[in-house]
Every structure is written in C-alpha cells, then in structure tokens.
Amino acid sequence: MQEKTNLDKALQLGLNEAEYHRILEILQKTPTFIELCLFAAMWSEHCSYKNSIFWLQKLPRSGPQILNAGKSENAGLVDIGGDYACAFKIESHNHPSAIEPFQGAATGVGGINRDIFTMGARPFAQLISLRFGDFSANEQKTDRLTKGVIQGISHYGNALGIPVVGGDIFFNSCYNHTPLVNVLSAGIVKKSEIANAIASGEGNPVFIAGSTTGKDGINGAIFASANINDESDKQIPAIQVGDPFAEKLLMEAALEAIQAGDILAIQDMGAAGIICSTSEMSARGNCGMQIHLDRVPLRNKNMQAEEILLSESQERMLIILEKGKEEKVKKIFEKWKVNLVQIGEVINKSSLQFLMNNEIIADLNPQYLVAGYGAPVYQREYTKPDYLKSIEIFDIEKIPQNISYQKEADTMLQLLNLCDKNWAFEQFDSMIGITNLNTNSEYNANLIKIKETNQILALSISGNENYVQAHPEIGTMIAVAEAAAQIYCSGAKPLAITNGLNFGNPYDTDVYWQFTECIKGLCHASEKFKTPVSGGNVSFYNQYEIENINTPIFPTPIIGMLGILENENKPIASNFQKAGDDIYILGKIHNDISSSTYAKEICQIKFSPAPHFNIDDELQMMHNMYALIENNVLQSAQRISKGGLYIALIKSASKKNFGIEISTSKDIRKDAFLFGESQGRILISVKKENEKNFKTFCIEKNIPFLKIGSLNSTKEICIDDISYGNIEEMKTKYQNAFRKQMDRF
C-alpha cells in the first residue's frame, strides 16, 4: 500500500495550494507519495519554466539560419551552410555551485555538453560567464567559491577534451551568497545526422545508457527552484557528482551510434532524472512508455522507487532504438565500455507506466507533466522597483573633476572587474583539438576553425549586470550589442543568439518586472540584429534569505552569440599593430559616466542610469565597421566597453608594448572621455597610407570619427602631454592584480 498525501506534503515538496488541487483534478484522486514527488519535480521552476515560458514565447525564434530539430529542446541548431549545422546553448548551475562550488560547476559543464552531443553534434568549444561576490564583504568565502568553480570547470572540461576558448569573470556584492555559473557549449553536426528527443514507434525498446544511478542529485530540480538560505548547505546530498571520463566514453558511444543511424531518439537524463526524460520524450511524441525501475542499474542498494525516478546522477542518457537494432547498438556501447540496459518500451497511448517488480507504482499522462504541454503557466504580477527613483535623478555635474587622472587610471588597471583574468584561463585547456585561433587573445570574438567544413566560426559572450540593474530593457539590449560587436570587430557576421537569464525570485514583483523588461530588450535587440534566439536557459531564485529578508541578485542576462567569418583571410586583431599608426574613435562620444566601473568604484556612486545607448546607431556602426574591415582600411578594432577608452587603450597597446600619445576632447569631461562607458564607440588604428581612404569612407557614410593620437615605440602612455606610465609596468599591474588576489589564501 502506497503512502497517501495531503496539502502539507505538497507544500513541503515545493508545490502551492492551487497546484495541489489541480493535481487532484487531473488524477481524480488523492495522489500517492510517488505521484506527488513526480509532479513536484516536473512542475518545479527548473523543469517547467512555469513563471517564464509565457514571456519566452515572445522571443524571435525563427529565421532562415535556424533549423528545427523536431521541437527537441536539447540545444538550438543554426545552419552554417553546406551540409553542416552548429548546435549551441548556455546552461547555468548556480544553486549547486553556491553550496558545493567544485562539483556544482563540474556537473554544469557535463550537463551543457550532454545537451550538445545528444543533438548528434560533437562539442568543439566552451565559453564561461561567472559572477562572484565582493572580496571585501567576505574574502574567504568569495575566494573559496571562485577557486572551487574555476577548478570544477577545469577538471571536467579538460578531461572531457573540449577547450574553454573564452568568457568573462566579474565580481559584485549582489552575488555574495549566490554566485552565477553560466557555461556555453557549441558543437558541429551534419544535417543528415541530427538527433532528436521524440519518442515514437510502439514496441520500440527504451534504454538507459551510461553511469549507474545513485542517490546523488535527488530532488535537485526542486532544490534549484527555491531561494538560497542558511539551511541550504544541509542539502548537499542534492548536489550531483560528476565523472568526466565516463562522459567522454558516453559521448563517443552516443555519437557513433547516432552517426550510424541506429538511434531514433536520445535525451540527457539531467534535471529530475528518469521522470523528466521519459515524460518529455513521450509528450513530444504524443505517446507513452512502460518503464521497469527494477531494471535500472544502481550504485546504491535499497533505493526506493521515487529515488530511482528522481535521481540526477550524472552521465546518463535515455535512448530509444528501432526494434531489431538492439544488438548492433549494444556492440557500439560495449566497444566504448558504456552500460546500455533496456528498461522499457514505447507504448501507443499517453501513459507513463512505472513498474517495480512487475507492479505498476505510478501511471501518469506525460502531457500533464511537461513544460509547453500541460504543466502550469503563470503570468506573475510585476511592479517597477522603487530603487530606480534614485537612479533617475543622477547628475554628472555634481561629480568633481580633476586636471589629471593618473592615480585613478592606475587604480582602474588593477580593479578585479577590469584586470586580466589569466590566472583563471590558464587553468583551462584552450588548445584541445587545435582549432582555437584566439589563444593569444588577438581577436574580439573567439574564432574557431571547423575542420569538417574548413570554416571559421566566431563565438562571443556578454552581460553587464550594472547596466541591467539600472535599466533592464536597455541593459539587455547592450548585452546583445556587445556580443554582436565582438563578432563584427573580428571581421565576422552574427547568426544567432543563445541566452542564460539569471534572476531572483519570480514571486517578487520587482524581480518579475526586471525579467519582463529584459525579455522586451532581448526581443527588440535580436530583431534589430537579425539574430534569432535559438534557445537558452532561465535561472530564477538566485536570492538569499537572512532572517526573512530577501536579497536578489542584480538581473543578469548573459548573451551568447554565434557568427561566421565569411572571408577567412579577413579576421582583424583587437590589438594595435604598428608604431606610427593613428588612433581613432568611431562613434559619438558622450559626456557620460553612468553605470561605469569608474562611477561605481572610483566615485563610489552606487546607482546611476544605464550608459548612453542608441540601438540604431549601434547597428549602423557595426555594418560600417564590417565594410571598413572588408576594404582593408583598418589595422585593429576594439569596442570600447567596461572601463571605457582608457582600459581599451591599455589592452590594445600592451600586446606589443606600444607607446601612446593621445589628446582628450575639450568638449567632453576628461573622466567621461577616458573612463565613461557610453555605447556605440569603437577604438581603431589606421595606417598613415590608409588615412585618406578611411576619412573619405567615414564622411561618405556619415560615420562620426575623431582622431585622438598615434602609436610610437617609446613605451610611454601620454595623455594631454602628461605621462601616465610605462606600458610594460602598466601591463604587469593589469595582468597580476587578479593573480595576487587569488594567491592570498
């Protein structure tokens, strides 16, 4: 006799009262404990997207470059021409990383790469976007989380054999208790070998492949759908434990079987484990499955049925084969020493039947469980936050000015949010597969040579939580523009977007307003740049509770972008190239320090508006940039972003240790000129012999430009005839600041 349940039990599992009563209506009876557990897992925010799916459906998802893989949501697919497509996606593993940073980050890497190779695509590159707390608030905790996450990514990614080719790492007090760990992975697949995750064919066998099932990760989806608090560390058993070597073997076996045409459907067994993969695959195929839980290979003895169903043990897949091909596929998996065990079969009705020792312990319609089908969909109330009132009255004229900013410039170079993060990236293998063309940070985007097609693909990742906190819609558009600029400034063209959307609790009306505004910004920007959203991830509940006071993170949309270099002879460097070249700024310069690192860190201005941004000017600038690169007019190009012109100058000069002599504008405050982060500006260098052609082009196209100086071989950085230091000494400070912080413990 199975345990009966009640409303209190439902509330303990994360369901609300309305959801419990809906379950009663669906089942026409009181649910058993197992049934209630399955609904709780599948209707959790992590699996159902119940508070975001209404708004996500507004995103532009179609275009000639977007391929439909049969409504499989493992990853987005982008047509890159010829016989091939690129699968790419961002996933987060925030909650697990807050409790156990090493395993939390490591299993996040495993999960996102499984999403890629279950499409039939071989992963070729990863990018990271990490957020941690302020070291001054709790230095040892921030140090532990930062090192743990970086070591976890390194451990799993290096062993799996997929290079980390780039990314960003930033620090902000809003992440003191809730770090963000977003990982992008991209893979290449023949269009004829794309795999789907749709169950079909009555009588076709259902297999579990990969590692054994244990008690690690049980209720992980429910854990990820609640605020972090002082009791969260007691949920460490919810953290999965990963084995990258097992995943490597699973990947090779799965790809070989997919390429042989022997797999009908395949899905990663990630969040919510067996119940999630069986229900989602069944719902997509409008069919069902009969699953024998006692046939599932276990690593822990005496596991209960609900534990088997909800375990999130890593490196596992659910695979459906065409009946009669079992032995052929088993030989492939045996060759790679990977478990492949039949646990059930497809049935021709909307029924998920779970059996234990031939006794049915749960029989549910999968349509009622799955996001986009019968799972709940909510439109939450939202209100514009009060904190924005203080932002809107910001007055730059109240900020005092200096004659020289040498001290401030020296401080800026060593700020953790601006300095070089080589300490972290040196721990990642960036050269596995020898396809990464950007190992020396020569280009704005991360350029990867695809050996299967002889093409060069460009990947970028962007996000600035300070801008989004100040104005969620504009801040999100800036993230899209930044990602696109990295692509364009490398000589490539953008194709599509993937996103990782990180927010606090959706039941908080301020947070939900931020979310809806970000979606509006993402819609508008992706339409403008003609970069449809191929897929992505939403992570809510990045919020910390202390004595009933909730502190959400700043809204943090992370934008990943895929582009293609159509002319492989035309990638352009971000670094200055030759002494004697002239230095220009393309775009309008504004008297603006709003939401800049300078305003926050040097002027101690906690809140200020988003920096100046005009999306039409931005788009036109990028098209003009592309034309200038195509016409061989430019020597280098780098978008002016975090840290403003000064940081862009130092980064561009330090590669070859150039000296610089520039003059600021009398019409713009010097601090705004040097450190402001107004958008739509690109730092370029031009050969003397190309100067006439460059100016003629800009005048004809009505492109704003300003010559600010030139490069020399003195190694001295001079601004308005004042020396700011030697570039070699400045580079040492820039490169060592983060390393010194990480060496403190």
Catalytic choice (46, 95, 155, 471)? 46
Give me the residue label for tokens 């009663």.
24
Question: How far is 62 from 60, CA to CA, in rounded Å?
Answer: 6
> How many Cα atoms are found within 13 Å in the side-chain-facing hemisphere of 556?
30
Q: Determine which one of 21, 93, 177, 623 is catalytic.
A: 93
Beta bridge partners of residue 457, listed in sequence order: 448, 564
Distances (CA, A) of 519 to 74, 380, 383, 384: 21, 14, 15, 15
Distance CA 523, CA 477 (A): 9
**Phi and psi at residue 575, to the nearest 5°:** -100, 145
- Which residues lie below 8 Å from residue 737, measured CB to CB, with a gap of 6+? 413, 414, 415, 416, 419, 420
Burial class (CB in 10 A: 0-12, 13-18, 19+), 739: middle
Distance CA 326, CA 133 (A): 50
Whole-angstrom distance, CA of residue 76 vs CA of residue 67? 8
Q: Where are the beta strands (DSSP E) in 578-617?
A: 582-586
Our separate counts of H helices and E strands in the chain read 25, 28
Token couple for 517: 């505004």
Whole-angstrom Cα distance, residue 670 to residue 559?
31
CB 447 within 8 A of CB 571: yes
Q: What's the gap between Cα 345 and its chain centre?
A: 35
Whether 292 is a known active-site residue: answer no
Contact 274, 311 (CB under 8 A): yes
367: left (phi over 0), alpha (psi -120 to 50) or beta: alpha
Q: Active site includes 93? A: yes
Chain-centroid distance, C-alpha 712: 39
Angle at CA 574, nearest 5°, toward 571 and 577? 90
Active-site positions?
46, 93
